[in-house]
Amino acid sequence: MAASNIFENIPAQLKQERFDTLVQNEHVTIERIVSEGHTSPESGWYEQNRNEWVIVLQGAATIVFENGDQTRLQAGDHLNIPALCKHRVLWTDPGQKTVWLAVHYD
């Protein structure tokens, strides 16, 4: 088996947030997400049917929840978001790429 590097194949310019599925089966999906100043649409909330655990590997971001709570994440910070918890990305660092690892699980 060949190894891969989480920081490889990131485009120099990102017109929109990039989502790459790394592993997926019926119980878990692991994604790499790359942001660079991207946010969720003002009118849109994520509300997944699965739990989501995220870690910021590089960069910084702020997640806001429907109740108004905000969580700032920097490299190394991780957060577990329960299924059906409405949230959105309020801010990602426009000066560098923010690389996330997201694990969606039952």
Residue 26's pLDDT is what?
96
What domain count does the chain have?
1
Specify if 11 maps to a domain.
no
For position 83, which CATH number holds?
Answer: 2.60.120.10
**What pLDDT, in 10s, does the model give residues 25-57?**
999 999 999 999 999 887 789 999 999 999 999
pLDDT at 1 exceeding the cut of 90: no
Specify if 59 maps to a domain.
yes
**What pLDDT, in 10s, does the model give residues 59-84?**
999 999 999 999 999 999 999 999 99
Specify if 86 maps to a domain.
yes
Specify if 42 maps to a domain.
yes
What domain range is 39 assigned to? 18-105
Closest CA to 30 of 40, 17, 20, 16: 20
